[in-house]
């Protein structure tokens, strides 16, 4: 499944998010940095969904113009204890990780 990445400029840098993946928001110094962070966060997000046995959410059609797409193909459920996700994702699971990401994004 492919998810589009939307970018938004702000006074703090460049934000990137994937509509449909709740809490999937990163902010980088510039567009290249935001994309680098998004690639890492996307992998963690998908690994957490797979680890928790949750389905991939559908890509909503909200009229966003996407310049880049992330693909879930090739991302597999990590072996127990080997996920590349940060510790809070490992401990809390996908739902809590999305909530944590949303809280961090809101605090910026």
Overall domain count for the chain: 1
Look at residue 70 in the predicted model and tell me its pLDDT: 80
Mean pLDDT for the stretch of residues 76-82 = 69
Domain that includes residue 80, residue range:
2-107
In this predicted model, what pLDDT tens digit does every residue of 1-57 receive, in sequence order? Answer: 888 888 999 888 999 998 888 888 999 999 999 999 999 999 999 988 888 889 988
Q: How remote is the C-alpha of 47 from its chain's centroid?
A: 10
What global pTM score does this model have? 0.67
CATH number (domain holding residue 34)? 3.30.160.250
Radius of gyration of the chain (CA): 13
């Amino acid at each position: 499944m492919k998810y589009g990445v939307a970018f938004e400029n702000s006074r703090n840098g460049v934000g990137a998010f994937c509509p449909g993946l709740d809490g999937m928001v990163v902010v980088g110094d510039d567009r290249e940095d935001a994309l680098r962070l998004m690639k890492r966060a996307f992998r963690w997000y998908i690994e957490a969904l797979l680890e928790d046995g949750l389905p991939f959410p559908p890509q909503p059609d909200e009229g966003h113009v996407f310049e880049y797409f992330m693909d879930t193909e090739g991302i597999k459920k990590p072996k127990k204890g080997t996920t590349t996700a940060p510790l809070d994702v490992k401990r809390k699971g996908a739902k809590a990780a999305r909530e944590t990401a949303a809280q961090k994004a809101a605090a910026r």
